[in-house]
Amino acid sequence: AQKITQTQPGMFVQEKEAVTLDCTYDTSDQSYGLFWYKQPSSGEMIFLIYQGSYDEQNATEGRYSLNFQKARKSANLVISASQLGDSAMYFCAMREARSTNAGKSTFGDGTTLTVKP
Amino acid sequence: GAGVSQSPSNKVTEKGKDVELRCDPISGHTALYWYRQSLGQGLEFLIYFQGNSAPDKSGLPSDRFSAERTGGSVSTLTIQRTQQEDSAVYLCASSDGGLNQPQHFGDGTRLSIL
């Protein structure tokens, strides 16, 4: 079973509007971390935001926030006030604490976001 | 400070040749990862090193692929007898190993097999 599912291969958003990128995950571990990364067309991978499984509040970093719903095993990325420079591929990733997988990250297939002027 | 450095940035080689890709992680980072990414696709996990522990090689696609990490720092990914399907961008990342620590990625090596 896929551990990270990103169901939106491509998304469009109008400049200055908010957009939500979906991510669901599968784990039986109680302790895990969830990450979002951005990959522009230039290719570099940029860390955006982190949410720990025990964090009670949703993580926020500037225009990025994470809508964490633990019971539903979802960790959606919300980008507010979209900018043209937000056009990129976005990856959701999970790292579990279990010894057999400890440290190793699992990535979703990504969502390509296009911001329209 | 210096980020993750990968070399070469581009490599073109003939089918059947061996290639070596190098990764210099961020100083002090105990964890090092190799991924493969085909155009427009997600990241395929290859191998993971954590400190002095035995590496997790579960993602290596065949025995033509191998990797080592010398002195807990620099890593080399070797592909023997390259095939055209090996063409991809090979990304290296490092982190300090904590559960909440993000991975820092290099710019990748674009490998093209003719």
B60 touches chain A (CB under 8 A): no
Write the CB contacts of B4 (distance below 8 Å, at least 6 apart in sequence): B23, B24, B25, B26, B92, B93, B94, B104, B105, B106
Mean pLDDT by 10 residues, chain A (117 residues): 87 97 94 95 94 92 96 97 97 82 81 97
Distance of residue A17 Cα from the nearest chain B Cα, in angstroms: 25
pLDDT value of position A23: 98
pLDDT value of position B39: 85
- B41:A91 CB<8 A: no
**In chain A, positions 26-65, which contact chain B (CB-CB < 8 Å)?**
31-33, 35, 37, 43-45, 47, 50, 52
Strand pairing class (B10-13; A105-107): unpaired
Band of pLDDT at residue B10, cut at 50, 70 and 90: very high
Task: Please tell me which residue of chain B has the smallest CA distance to A44.
Answer: B107
Write the CB contacts of A114 (distance below 8 Å, at least 6 apart in sequence): A10, A11, A12, A13, A87
Instruction: Give residue B7's Cα distance to chain centre.
Output: 10
User: Whose CA is closest to B44, among B99, B1, B85, B2?
Assistant: B85
Residues of B in contact with A105 (CB under 8 A): 33, 45, 103
pLDDT value of position A101: 58
A100 touches chain B (CB under 8 A): no
Band of pLDDT at residue B41, cut at 50, 70 and 90: confident
pLDDT value of position A64: 97
pLDDT value of position B96: 87
B39 touches chain A (CB under 8 A): no
pLDDT value of position A1: 55
Mean predicted lDDT score pLDDT of chain A: 92
B94 pLDDT exceeds 60?
A: yes
Task: Give dist(CA B86, CA B36) in Å, integer.
Answer: 9
Residues of B in contact with A107 (CB under 8 A): 35, 42-43, 45
Task: Give dist(CA B41, CA B88) in Å, integer.
Answer: 10
Closest CB from A37, A43, A50 relative to B108: A43
pLDDT value of position A105: 83
- A91:B43 CB<8 A: yes
- B48:A47 CB<8 A: no
Mean pLDDT, rounded, for B81-104: 92
Closest CB from A50, A52, A109 relative to B42: A109
Write the CB contacts of B97 (distance below 8 Å, at least 6 apart in sequence): A103, B29, B30, B31, B50, B51
Task: Give dist(CA A34, CA A70) in Å, integer.
Answer: 11
pLDDT tens for residues B60-74?
999 999 999 988 799
